[in-house]
């Protein structure tokens, strides 16, 4: 199931604010602060990428089930 529109928008907005904070931190804070902020940005990106990947896997398994092989030949019956 894809992220809802509201959640995606909020994550995009949070990522935008964190990127601005990272730019400021890179100029005026210690490197460990900038590193921590960058990890937050990467974490949000991972959430969105994992969601996209999960949707693609779901599409593939649904298509395989629809085609009649149940997905067992591709994923070894895990799905």
pLDDT digit of tens for each residue in the chain (79 aa)? 678 999 999 999 999 999 999 999 999 999 999 999 999 999 999 999 998 898 889 888 888 888 876 555 555 555 5
Find the helix packing angle between 31-67 and 5-28, rounded to 10°: 150
Report residue 2 as tokens.
Answer: 């894809």
DSSP-based three-state secondary structure for 29: coil
Domain boundaries, the chain: 5-75
């Amino acid at each position: 199931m894809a992220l809802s529109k509201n959640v995606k928008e909020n994550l995009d907005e949070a990522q935008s604010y964190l990127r601005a904070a990272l730019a400021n931190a890179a100029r005026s804070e210690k490197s460990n602060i900038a590193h921590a902020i960058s990890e937050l940005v990467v974490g949000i990106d991972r959430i969105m990428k994992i969601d996209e990947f999960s949707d693609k896997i779901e599409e593939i398994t649904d298509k395989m089930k629809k085609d009649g092989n149940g997905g067992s030949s591709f994923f070894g019956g895990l799905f």
